[in-house]
Amino acid sequence: MGYHENKKCIEACLKCAALCNHCAASCLQEADTKMMATCIQLDMECAALCYAAAQLMSLGSSKAAALCKICAELCEACANECSKHSNIHCKECADACRECAAECKKM
């Protein structure tokens, strides 16, 4: 299975990665960045893993499904952390993470 078969999941992963990067950058602009440290860390980890999952799916890798399982777990953790914060960038990130987790679980 390659790009066309996994298109919906690939797109969810890429959207999630972009919004996680946006969230991390925005959290660094918050007044209390120390309070946002866990959010920032999970954002960066989630973005990295989402990019990797999208790449493996695009390549048709036999390891894509296994990576997607881990990606779903990390996306859920990131969504849970982002949900603790009231700013718009964390809300957008949490929504994208939940969408990505749902798609990755289908793999």
Q: What is the domain partition of the chain in residue ranges?
A: 3-105
Closest CA to 85 of 15, 49, 33: 33
Region 91-104: mean pLDDT is 98
The one-letter code for the residue type at 95 is D
pLDDT for 1: 73
Region 37-57: mean pLDDT is 97
3-state secondary structure of 31: coil
Q: Judging by beta carbons within 10 Å of its beta carbon (0-12, 13-18, 19+), is residue 107 exposed, middle or buried?
A: middle
pLDDT for 2: 80
The answer to whether residue 61 scores a pLDDT higher than 80 is yes
Is the Cβ–Cβ distance between 42 and 78 less than 8 Å? Answer: yes
Q: How many residues does the chain have?
A: 107
CA 87/CA 90 separation, integer angstroms: 6
What's the pLDDT band for 28 if we cut at 50, 70, 90?
very high
What is the CATH number assigned to the segment(s) 3-105? 1.20.1270.360
Q: pTM of the predicted model, to two decimals?
A: 0.95
The structure tokens listed for 55 are: 């790449």
The answer to whether residue 83 scores a pLDDT higher than 80 is yes
The answer to whether residue 59 scores a pLDDT higher than 90 is yes
Q: Where are the alpha helices (DSSP H) in the chain?
A: 3-27, 37-59, 64-82, 88-105
